[in-house]
Structure 1
Amino acid sequence: WSGEKPANVKAVIRSESSIAYAIYRTQLFNAKDLRRVRAIQNGYKVRTLSAFLGRPAPAPASPVDWPKPVADATDSLAFFRYLNFMLQFAPTVPSEQDVMARFAKIGVGRGLSFDKNSLSPEIQKAMAAGMADGKSQFVEFKKTQLDTRKLTSGDLFGTREHLKNNYMYRYAAAVLGIFGNSAEEAIYPGYFLDVAGKPLDAAATRYTLHFDKDKLPPANAFWSLTMYDGQSKLLV
């Protein structure tokens, strides 16, 4: 969408892609506040701009033929077919013009069709090795930078200007906590190791997280303790 912001619209949040995801939070102060929170939540509405302005709706977008997901898509060259499909919704930004021009040489890019069989066996092998190298680099990055808390969620989440196209940061954020907030909104201290430095394994060990009296985590709104599944990286 482009155009002037309507007078009765307070602000416009723009997305680089045609796909946007929104999560709403309504602060609850105590149990007595629950009724008012529900009233606020019941007032939330998601409407098209035309419906909000009371104008005729534009012509509907063409239907999207979404590809069926494949469990091991990120472990094979099939990944690039999915990538090309998603790139149709994401125009190339100025800071990535050069890298996308390089990708186009192997059939990766917006509007391109990726066919691994059109590539030589050597190129296919090199691409598969590159994917494996990237995952190995992430394992080392997590071990040395995140498990040691040299970096926090505040480093991994944020705008393009904040991340400066640091693809390892972006990859780590997507793998470990996709849809996370920037540091201005929330901080997510991750615990991957126990006090002895061993990886957490709730299937074999019981754990206790202890806070001294009157030393709960400081927060302007709230803090919470959440558990994530080790495979899907989603809430348990």
Structure 2
Amino acid sequence: MTSRLKLRIAVPIAFVTFVGIVSLINLPYWLAFKNGVQAYLYAYPLITMDMTKRVMTAPAPMTEGDVHRKPGTGPANQFSHVRAFPDNTFKDVVAPNADTLYSIAWLELKAEPMVLSMPDMHGRWVLMEVLDAWTNAFASLGTRQYGGEPKQYLISGPGWNGAVPEGMIQVKSPTAMNWIIGRTYTRDPADFAAVHQVQAQYHLVPLSRFLQHQENDAATAHTDVSIDTQTPVVTQVARLNAQDYFSRMSMLMGDNPPSRADAAMVEKLRHLGIEPGMPLVWKRMDPTTRRALEDSVWFVRALFDARSPGTQGLPDTNPVERALFSATTSAMDKVLLNVRNGWRIPLNLGQYETHYPLRAIVSLVGFGANGPKDAVYPMTAIDAKGNPLTGETRYVLHFDRDKLPPAKAFWSLTMYDDRMFFVDNPIRRYAIGDRDALHFNPDGSLDLWLQHSRPSDEKVSNWLPAPPGRFKLMLRLYDPKAEVLDGKWVPPSVQQLTNG
């Protein structure tokens, strides 16, 4: 595809697809291209979920007879627990946290439901977030919604109509593929051993084995050793050509059906030759449709690369096109994101309904996002004047006494470098929050010092070390209070220090 043609299609389609202007062009190519862009965005979370599941449940490599698994990976239908906080050497997942230990499980519900058993939490906060195949967080199983008493949940897939055992809470999943992202409150490394004891009491068992009082020794293990577990999932998805991408989309929609709200999109897909559970007959498509779908894949990859540079394998774009995609990305931010005081405050994640572009963007940059009632993660990379945050400058984040982060469970502020990884620092502090021995001002307000160089001794307790270059901040509010959810509370701007 020539740069000239790409520029021709980019200008009208950018506005048609993302700003909402209705195209007046009805030629077959343009209609198929527009629908192809929308179809790619619609399916991106589904494709990413499937690819992530394949990678995380793939057979582990062996060295001298020993199995070596990355934390959080393992066979489907059983938990894999993360046993420690990551440090600055951890690069497997962007934006790691140092607040909770994870318990991860991929569920395959096509054959039968799974029983999730939770112990008495004895006051410890836990969240078992359950995502469907489209990344909707359709269930929040934990202390916020169900309390800390022992509980048993029956997680069933689409089409299952069996009897629910007495005392169980049924959780109906709209799809056969599910991802449980469990987070257990962890005070500090000294708390690891106690959290491990709690994690050992999280159990997943197929319903048939549960009824027979049997343990889960039938976890589904994949045997396909050809799965690439080294290349990032986002890169693997970007490498799919149009035929492979839309073919995989068709087959995945068979076990993971679109919702009723997606009826209009399903009709558009049908006109493209894409139907749930049916093989995509690529060679029988007319050449115009095939070319339009190929161009739509290029277009979205270029748009994604403007938002998350380097993730799409350097699409073939020239400087003019890159400027166009950058401008389109900025326009999307204004439409889709809630930005106040320089902070992006996501209050519309987890349940996306028909907001397909937002859902796709979250899958690209914040895969596995939970609903705002469980946690809200404001993020910023600029100071009060709109300048990029950098370790060459010193900053303070000041909270008035009556404006401290309003979280029912706990809160933290995490420092990341410009790639969203932890920052190496002499005191090995990657986050700071209400679990730390913070020093409050005489009037009850709080100052957090954000800088690369070590501050004076009286400020070290409130110091979050920064890298020498650019950095980003993420404020995590677990079980946020009403004033966060209704937008009445926002984090203060990051202020640059001029002396001291």
Query: Structure 1 residues 74 and 115 mapped into 2: Cα distance closer, same or farther (>3 Å)?
Result: same
Q: 1:148 aligns with which of 339, 344, 347?
A: 339
Q: Which residue of 2 aligns with 1:51?
A: 209
Larger RCO, structures 1/2 (Cα 8 Å, 6+ apart): 2
2:337 maps to a residue whose letter is L
Q: Which residue of 1 aligns with 2:248?
A: 82
Secondary structure at the residue paired with 1:155?
coil
1:218 maps to a residue whose letter is P
Aligned-pair CA distance for 1:110: 1.4
Once residues 80 and 16 of structure 1 are traced to their aligned partners in structure 2, the CA distance between those partners, rounded to angstroms, is: 21
Instruction: Please give the root-mean-square deviation of Cα atoms over the aligned residues, in Å.
Output: 4.0
Aligned-pair CA distance for 1:171: 1.5
Q: Which residue of 2 aligns with 1:24?
A: 182
Query: Structure 1 residues 94 and 212 mapped into 2: Cα distance closer, same or farther (>3 Å)?
Result: closer
Map residues 34-113 of structure 1 onto 2, 5 A cutoff. Answer: 35-54=193-212, 70=236, 72-73=238-239, 76-113=242-279
Once residues 208 and 109 of structure 1 are traced to their aligned partners in structure 2, the CA distance between those partners, rounded to angstroms, is: 55
Q: 1:4 aligns with which of 160, 163, 166?
A: 163
Q: Which residue of 2 aligns with 1:176?
A: 365
1:120 matched to 2:299: no
**TM-score, normalised on structure 1?**
0.71
Bigger mean CA deviation after superposition, 27-36 or 149-158? 27-36
Query: Structure 1 residues 123 and 46 mapped into 2: Cα distance closer, same or farther (>3 Å)?
Result: same
Aligned-pair CA distance for 1:191: 2.2
Greater share of residues in strand? 2
1:217 maps to a residue whose letter is P
Q: Which residue of 1 aligns with 2:410?
A: 222
Greater share of residues in helix? 1
Name structure 1 gaps, 5 residues minimum: none
Maintained 8 Å contact 2:344/2:378 = no
Maintained 8 Å contact 2:274/2:280 = yes
Secondary structure at the residue paired with 1:85?
helix
Aligned-pair CA distance for 1:75: 6.5
**TM-score, normalised on structure 2?**
0.37
Once residues 48 and 122 of structure 1 are traced to their aligned partners in structure 2, the CA distance between those partners, rounded to angstroms, is: 48
Q: 1:212 aligns with which of 395, 398, 401?
A: 398
Map residues 186-205 of structure 1 onto 2, 5 A cutoff. Answer: 186-193=375-382, 197=386
Maintained 8 Å contact 1:27/1:221 = no
Once residues 206 and 182 of structure 1 are traced to their aligned partners in structure 2, the CA distance between those partners, rounded to angstroms, is: 35
Aligned-pair CA distance for 1:220: 1.6
Maintained 8 Å contact 2:242/2:293 = no
Secondary structure at the residue paired with 2:182?
coil
Aligned-pair CA distance for 1:23: 1.5
**How many residues are aligned here?**
223
Maintained 8 Å contact 1:103/1:109 = yes
Q: Percent identity?
A: 21
Once residues 122 and 26 of structure 1 are traced to their aligned partners in structure 2, the CA distance between those partners, rounded to angstroms, is: 52
Aligned-pair CA distance for 1:44: 1.0
Aligned-pair CA distance for 1:229: 7.6
Maintained 8 Å contact 1:138/1:172 = no
Asked which structure has the greater CA Rg, the reply is 2
